[in-house]
Structure 1
Amino acid sequence: MRKLHSVRRGPRPRLATLGALVLGAAVVGACNEFLQAENPGAVEESDVNQPQYMSLLANGVISEFQAAFSNITWWNSMFSDELYNRQTFFEEILIDQRRVGPENGTNGTFIYPRIQRARFSADDAVSRMKIVLGDSAGVDIRVARSLAYGVMTYNYLAEMLCEIPFDAQAPQTPDDVFRKAIAKADSAVTVANAAKARAKARTPIVAADTLAADSVRNFALVGAARAALNLNDRARAVTYAQQVPAAFNFFATFSNNSTAENHRIWSNLTAASSATTDNTPFRDMAGDVRIPRSGVTGVTGLIPRSPSSYSSFDGTATGAPFVPGGTVRIASGLEARYIVAEAQIESNPAQALTLINERRAFGRLQQPVSGLTGTALLTELRDQRRRDFYLDNHRLGDLRRYLKYYQVNEFQRGPYPTSTTGETYGDQTCWPLTLAEINGNPNIPRP
């Protein structure tokens, strides 16, 4: 994750001691001047719209996205039953049980504001760059990249939340936001293509610029295909996904430089042992190298090791531990192939079966299957998909799509494991708005 200078909003802070307040206004002024805190690396908000800060803005989009991704991946893994909570703090138990209220402080601190901040950062950066860059914004890779990251934040919001307000406006439905994600992706593709054409027109051609444009274009295409599939617009999903090369991968990057730059999966699983695969459908997948586990460690339970979306994945049955840095795959040609296979499963079942057996072979110890059709084929495709995208923030959106369009409910139900008071899983399938959003947004209807 890239470290950025801060963009400061509002007046510079002035510090004063209690003694200075007692001595009177004149002394207060003197002390304020003496104690005034200046950050030479900070940029006043009014000064941001300058050409020299455009790369800073673009890098800020990446930084905010990765911080949000780290947090929502962790908490969505609880909500979607990829992991079982081992902490005793009641708010975390309620998340695992899918009984989250607006007053849930964990959601209000680590989840909802983080993804909304990432979304705003992408939207704001694009708006500012268009003002500053003028006509050249249409061929600038920084604009295309910021748009593409915005696509993914819109997808995450729509996959996670029951309703989505933007900037104190009235809430929108997830389908509304998926449609906005597609429109944003179309813009990203257009700008990325123009940026590539400009790079190729230079003498000599800058190969790195053309590769970057291709990467951003494919990132946006995967995002558009993901949104279209979640709208059940299968034809459109296929159109986008089929343009993505099979070998394409796009990553979120983390660092071991500081706690803020670590991936939360590492810190909570490896360092804190805050969750396990116990009491989840993934506990019984021990033979699959995509979901390796460490085995029993005291009373903690079965802790997964690095799955296949992580750079620390080593492809062995024993597996490798998570690391604080490294990369996590967030979009790929593999996902594009899954999207096409699901969208065309009735018209081209052989295509889905080929992908299934390829992924079974990748997971090791899984024999190929044959003769699957209809419901059995779709069930197997869903199973391979959840293994390939384990702990990389796909599961919740998938569960909601299966329930909405296939009437297949794969959310955990019934008694909550280890409960001694008769607790059960709740019936929530999406995150509610936080109390801060409800109280602070005048356009949210009140009972």
Structure 2
Amino acid sequence: MTHPIRTRRRAAATLSVLALFAATSCNREQLLGVDTPDQIRPADAAGIDGATALRAAAIRDFAQFYSGNTAAGVNLYVGLFGDEMHNARAGAEHLDQRQFNESVFPATAWNKFSDTYTQSIRAIRALNAYVPATSATRSRDIGQLYALQSIALNIAAELFCNGVPLSSVNDEAPEASTIVTTPGLLQRAIAQADSALATLGNGPADQTFRYVARVGKARAQVNLGQFDAAAATVGAAGDGATSVAVPTTWQYQVEHSATSLQNAIFDWMVNTANFGPSDKEGINGIDFRSARDPRVVVGTTTRIGADGATPVFTVQGYSTGGAPMTLVSGVTARMIEAEAALRRGDATVWLAKLNEPRGDATVRTLRSIPATVGVLPPLADPGNAADRITLLFRERAFWFYLNATRVGDLRRLQRQYNRSPDVVWPTGAYFKGGSYGSDVTITPSFAERNNPAYRGCIDRNP
């Protein structure tokens, strides 16, 4: 049985954050300015109402971290730093150009990860402490937070450098933190997913969060090079002997509100012309626009960017600030299985897994792809290992456009497939002057330099 998660489903089944909190104003001329977070003191959480408020805050913080509000989200940072979008405003060139400058980069990207990490832990503690075990939704609410934490840790591991400070989340010693390596973040992602699976029930209302947890665990396993284990996690019996594979037609979306939690892609790429979808950026970039692939729909006319000079096309599918963003899906599971098959030399299964979502009418409907016959025709085997790898990552790029996965994939092409950065990342002349840099990660907020436990990244390798 498939379980697609559509827009505006009830809060127990989606990241519904509509009207939970008022939006914080943002001066768009200060790219992704810092918000003042809502404060819930530990004493305020000492009860069912307080625990419920902490859970709502954690869900809100995850939404802001992932796909943002008017202060942007990590999917925008990943898009700029990789090859999904280009800059059409003053002030973000260092990120788009891969010449990362931590002294001018807004703290928001790191702070929103820190917020979702710490708030989730506090919310889980409060729910465990104050909500009766007999509550019909207690285990589901806790399991959801564990599952989302797994995804957040994956994204952080894929984007940030090796060796980042994480709070102990000890309210009696709030300054305490630990330096966590990239493998350490991924191991924590697996542990959070396992905690979700151990906490959640097996009823229909819990099942979607079990799928999120399985995909989060498998994503971390892929990042760690555990390809067969990852495929097993999302496949049949991956969640107990009688469990089904994560359905291809299932998806989980982060919801937004046009008034209180606006989709950052709408705000920065549609409602304004600050950024535009890239096309063959820096020689090596994917042809997101000119391919005319129905998974990434781009308008056919341009407008002038916020810098007054750069022509900008408009990405489609985000017509309002309330447009949802896909977080993970059954397509993610199929791509994980395809990669595992390719790693073990099974080109037949690899190709079948790539083609499965392309030929599924329900998947096309969920992605708003026209039902025209042949709109996503079956792929052909290119016949050699190198081109199969290229095709796999191309499919991932189109399926997961603006889903905060691309930088992780580009880094994996270097780290796990031994490809030179000169054939992976945007390179050569930068369209606004100068050349692309060589950075493959970004760093925590410059303010973390005040943290006595943190003295900078251990390294910034892929």
Does the alignment reach a TM-score above 0.5? Answer: yes
* Aligned residue in 2 for 1:126: 124
Residue identity opposite 1:4 in structure 2: L
CA distance in 1, matches of 2:407, 2:382: 29
CA offset at residue 428 of structure 1? 0.8
CA distance in 2, matches of 1:118, 1:275: 26
CA offset at residue 130 of structure 1? 2.3
Choose from 287, 290, 296 the match for 2:295: 290
* Aligned residue in 1 for 2:452: 442
* Aligned residue in 2 for 1:154: 153
Deviations 1:104-125 (A, max 9, x none): 242x1x2111111111111111
Deviations 1:292-321 (A, max 9, x none): 211232444342423xxxxx4xxxxxxxx5
CA distance in 1, matches of 2:303, 2:140: 50
Residue identity opposite 1:245 in structure 2: P
CA distance in 2, matches of 1:446, 1:292: 40
* Aligned residue in 2 for 1:102: 102
SS in 2 for 1:296: strand
Q: Counterparts in 2 of 1:324-339, with a 5 A limit?
A: 324-339=321-336
* Aligned residue in 2 for 1:116: 114
Kept in 2: contact 1:248–1:332 (CA 8 A)? yes
Q: Counterparts in 2 of 1:367-386, with a 5 A limit?
A: 368-370=379-381, 372-386=383-397
Percent identity (aligned): 23
* Aligned residue in 2 for 1:305: 315
Residue identity opposite 1:218 in structure 2: Y
Kept in 2: contact 1:82–1:282 (CA 8 A)? no
Choose from 418, 426, 432 the match for 1:412: 426
Q: Counterparts in 2 of 1:3-402, with a 5 A limit?
A: 3-4=19-20, 44-70=41-67, 71-89=73-91, 92-106=92-106, 108=107, 110-133=108-131, 140-162=139-161, 163-167=163-167, 168-193=176-201, 196=202, 210-242=203-235, 243-258=245-260, 261-278=261-278, 280=281, 281-300=286-305, 301-306=311-316, 312=317, 322-345=319-342, 346-358=344-356, 364=375, 368-370=379-381, 372-402=383-413
Flag as ranges the 4+ runs of structure 1 deviating above 6 A. Answer: none
Deviations 1:384-436 (A, max 9, x none): 110111111111111112211102232111221231xxx11111111112220
Long gaps (5+) in structure 2: 1-16, 23-37, 68-72, 168-175, 236-244, 306-310, 370-374, 458-462
Structure 1 pair 366/42, CA: closer, same or farther in 2 (3 Å)? closer
CA distance in 2, matches of 1:268, 1:446: 30
CA distance in 2, matches of 1:403, 1:56: 42
CA distance in 1, matches of 2:456, 2:226: 33
Of 248-257 and 364-373, deviating more is: 364-373
SS in 2 for 1:84: strand
Higher helix residue share? 1
Coordinate RMSD, CA, aligned: 2.5
SS in 2 for 1:165: strand
- Please, what TM-score do these two structures have when normalized by structure 2? 0.75
Residue identity opposite 1:122 in structure 2: S
CA distance in 2, matches of 1:2, 1:74: 21
Structure 1 pair 265/344, CA: closer, same or farther in 2 (3 Å)? same
Structure 1 pair 153/278, CA: closer, same or farther in 2 (3 Å)? closer
CA distance in 1, matches of 2:353, 2:290: 19
Kept in 1: contact 2:154–2:220 (CA 8 A)? yes
Deviations 1:113-145 (A, max 9, x none): 111111111111112222334766996211111
Kept in 1: contact 2:254–2:325 (CA 8 A)? yes
Residue identity opposite 1:215 in structure 2: T
Kept in 1: contact 2:84–2:288 (CA 8 A)? no
- Please, what TM-score do these two structures have when normalized by structure 1? 0.78
* Aligned residue in 1 for 2:239: none
- Whether 1:426 aligns to 2:434 is no
CA offset at residue 438 of structure 1? 1.4
Residue identity opposite 1:293 in structure 2: V
Greater Rg by CA: 1
Higher RCO structure (Cα 8 Å, ≥6 apart): 2
Residue identity opposite 1:77 in structure 2: G
* Aligned residue in 2 for 1:200: none
CA distance in 1, matches of 2:314, 2:21: 36
Structure 1 pair 50/278, CA: closer, same or farther in 2 (3 Å)? closer
Structure 1 pair 413/141, CA: closer, same or farther in 2 (3 Å)? same
Residue identity opposite 1:414 in structure 2: G
* Aligned residue in 1 for 2:18: 2
Long gaps (5+) in structure 1: 7-40, 197-209, 307-311, 313-320
Residue identity opposite 1:150 in structure 2: Q
Kept in 2: contact 1:61–1:149 (CA 8 A)? no
CA distance in 2, matches of 1:100, 1:446: 14
Residue identity opposite 1:377 in structure 2: R
Deviations 1:275-298 (A, max 9, x none): 123452334543211112112324
CA offset at residue 340 of structure 1? 1.1
Structure 1 pair 373/134, CA: closer, same or farther in 2 (3 Å)? farther
CA distance in 2, matches of 1:240, 1:367: 26
CA distance in 1, matches of 2:144, 2:43: 24
Deviations 1:162-214 (A, max 9, x none): 03211152321111110011011011011113xx3xxxxxxxxxxxxx22210
Deviations 1:220-279 (A, max 9, x none): 010000011000011221121114222221110011123xx1111001111111112345
Structure 1 pair 370/99, CA: closer, same or farther in 2 (3 Å)? closer
CA offset at residue 42 of structure 1? 8.5
CA distance in 1, matches of 2:453, 2:192: 24
Kept in 2: contact 1:253–1:328 (CA 8 A)? yes
CA distance in 1, matches of 2:184, 2:292: 40
CA offset at residue 442 of structure 1? 0.5
